[in-house]
Amino acid sequence: MKKLTIFLVLIILILSSACALQAEEQKELSWGGDSEGGFPYMFPNPKNTDELIGFEVDIVNALAEQMGRKPVYVNNAWENLIPGLNRKLYDISINGLEVTPEHKEVVNFSIPYYKTFLQLAVRKNDNSIKTLEDCRGKKVGTLKESFAQELLEEVGDIDIRTYNVEANTYEDLANGRLDAAFFDHPIALYSAGFNPEIKFVGPPVGELEYAIAIRKQDKELLTEVNKALVALRDSGKLREIYDRWNLWTPIMAAEFNDYSPSKIEASRYNEWAETHRPHLTFAKRIDRYKDALPAFGRAAIVTMQVSITAMILAITLGLTLAITRVFAPKWIASIATMYIEIVRGTPVLIQLFFIFYGLPSIGIKFSPFWAGAIGLGLNYAAYEAEIYRSGLFAIPRTQWESALALGMTRWQAMREVILPQAVRVVIPPITNDFISLLKDSSLVSIITMVDLTKAYGQISATYYDYFGPGIIVAVIYLMLGLPFVRFARYTEKRLAAVDKDGKYGHRENIYRSSTRYI
């Protein structure tokens, strides 16, 4: 009991310090982006996957410098960037956010920092497609639910294939599964601009404007950002960035009213093209994986931290719930039952979203780590509670009675007779739950944490390669779970003295040996 109290106090202390840290504010410019947002916007440096690079990263850094602030990066899933902004996870968000009416309803936008268009790409030797209209009756790949998809639908009669990952689209185009690919120009350029088998055709299509999102109430910040953007444009710093990334296009020239030829080399683009030319040798691939290992290692630690914290929480709360359900007066027990039913009956993904994005609106704010650990912990507690309860009920009532008949109090009977037997019953399902939790912890990647799953996404998007990193991640997950499986086996065997009666051997073998005689 004392230990439990200390544990709870510790939890509260850690929680409150985590909250306090968040409240702390210096002269910082925190900005939200998605490290998987994709090239060339922002992505982990292929040479050092811990470093985030991209033309938008350069823009933010220049912007912060112009504003005299220190940029602080906050990672978030792209589709959650705007909710995260309104949840005050960061001051501004920049990551290829388009100025759409829907977005404008919930946040303000700075003046656009970049304008671009959609680019059609076909195979080198294909001369049949020159414009969008030529695509009728052909297979065209594009990004799911994008502006590009809308345009293709307007043309009609096109066999549209939508993708989540742009890299796959260009691979399919190169190997003939597609006839054309239709993407934002920067994506097209960084996906295939250096690929000798693919060429860009047709005029620029459509117009896309990227701007910085700022909370509605932060009017002063909006003005400040706009002033800084104008200053960066006028000083030529923005153009420098675009030149370096090979993103200076006629559209931008018109936008900035600057038709002078580029003075500096497209160094960033060239680096990218160098590392991404197709047909990497096997040895080079292995080298890359080696480079990614530290990043995977760190992500594995995050996964373990979240999982173990969540499991401790789940076991403690689960035990409390189970004991309440079994021993407390009926009306208190029914509260525990209700908790279990509600938590088990709703998706953990929704629970995590609710804790991280929903609770702040009533003033409860957790760091991503604690939101993840608490969310998973609360969820698994419901399952744990049911396991413990069934463990208790698996012990025959006569055991309880004979303990009482020996003069034990209820608590003594529980502690000495029922629980030791119940533990043996519940160890396998608890282990099972922990392994399941370890995998479910991948859900924390949606609340800005870089765990193993997120790292897989980041590194794969960077390398253009979902194969090798996928195997690496799978192996890491397996290795993380293995010690727990082993531990469970060991305890199960150690505690299975009951069944070691020589006649039948270990419980596991009962059915196996008996079938021999059938």
Partner 1 sequence: MNLINKPLIVVENLCKGFEDGEVLRNVSFTIREGDLASIIGPSGCGKSTFMRCLNCLELLDSGSISIAGVTISRRPGQVPDEKMLDIAHEIRSEVGMVFQSYNLFPHKTIIENIMLAPMVVKKQPKDEVYEQAMKLLDKVGLKGFASKYPSTLSGGQSQRAAIARALAMNPRVMLYDEPTSALDPELVGEVLQVMKDLDAEGMTQIIVTHEMKFARDASDYIIFMDNGEIVEYDDGDILFTAPKSERTKAFLRHFVNTGVA
Which amino acid type is present at position 447? I
Instruction: Name every residue whose Cβ is closer than 8 Å to that of residue 387 and which is 6 or more positions away in sequence.
Output: 318, 426, 429, 430, 433
Among 156, 345, 363, 407, binds partner 1 (CB under 8 A): 407
**Is position 19 an interface residue for partner 1 (rule: CB under 8 A)?**
no
Q: 454: helix, coil or strand?
A: helix
DSSP string, 370-431: HHHHHHHHHHHHHHHHHHHHHHHHHS-HHHHHHHHHTT--HHHHIIIIIHHHHHHHHHHHHH
Q: Which listed residue (409, 436, 513, 514) binds partner 1 by CB under 8 A?
A: 409
Least Å from the CB of residue 500 to partner 1: 7
406 lies in the site for partner 1, by CB under 8 A: yes
CB of residue 486 vs partner 1: minimum separation in angstroms? Answer: 22
CB of 421 to partner 1, least distance (A): 5
Task: Output 167 or 403, the one with its CB closest to partner 1.
Answer: 403
User: Under rule CB under 8 A, how many of the chain's residues touch partner 1?
Assistant: 25
DSSP for 259-283 reads: -PPP-S--HHHHHHHHHH-S---HH
Angle 421-426-432 from CA coordinates, rounded to 5°: 160
Binding mask 421-450 for partner 1 (x = CB under 8 A): x--x--------------------------
Closest CB to partner 1 among residues 255, 492 = 492
CA distance 461 to 166: 9
CB of 32 vs partner 1, minimal distance in Å: 55
Decide: is 514 part of the binding site for partner 1 (CB under 8 A).
Answer: no
At a CB cut-off of 8 Å and minimum separation 6, what does 342 contact?
A: none
Q: Which is nearer to partner 1, 136 or 500 (CB)?
A: 500
Considering the rule CB under 8 A, would residue 509 count as an interface residue with partner 1?
no
Q: Which of 128, 235, 402, 513 binds partner 1 (CB under 8 A)?
A: 402
Residues 6+ apart with CB under 8 A from 196: 124
2-23 vs 282-327: helix crossing angle, rounded to 10: 130
Min dist. Cβ of residue 495 to partner 1 (A): 8
Choice from 420, 467, 505, 510 touching partner 1 (CB under 8 A):
420
Question: Is 510 one of the binding residues for partner 1 (CB under 8 A)?
Answer: no
C-beta of 5 vs 398, nearer to partner 1: 398
Backbone angles phi, psi at 168, to 5 degrees: -60, -35
Q: How far apart are CA 223 and CA 110, in angstroms?
A: 8
Contact with partner 1 (CB under 8 A): which of 145, 207, 341, 401?
401
Pairing verdict, β 213-215 and 139-143: unpaired
Give the nearer residue to partner 1 in terms of CB position, either 136 or 410: 410
Instruction: Please identify which residue in 416, 470, 487, 513 interacts with partner 1, judged by CB under 8 A.
Output: 416
Question: Which are the contacts of 39, defined by CB distance < 8 A and separation ≥ 6?
Answer: 54, 187, 190, 191, 272, 461, 462
Strands ordered across the beta sheet of 180-184: 159-163, 139-143, 180-184, 114-123, 198-210
Helices (H), 145-194: 147-155, 166-174, 185-192
Per CB under 8 A, the segment of 24-32, 183-191, 237-245, 419-427 that binds partner 1 is 419-427
Binding mask 463-502 for partner 1 (x = CB under 8 A): --------------------------------x-xxxxxx
Binding site for partner 1 (CB under 8 A): 398-399, 401-409, 412, 416-417, 420-421, 424, 495, 497-503
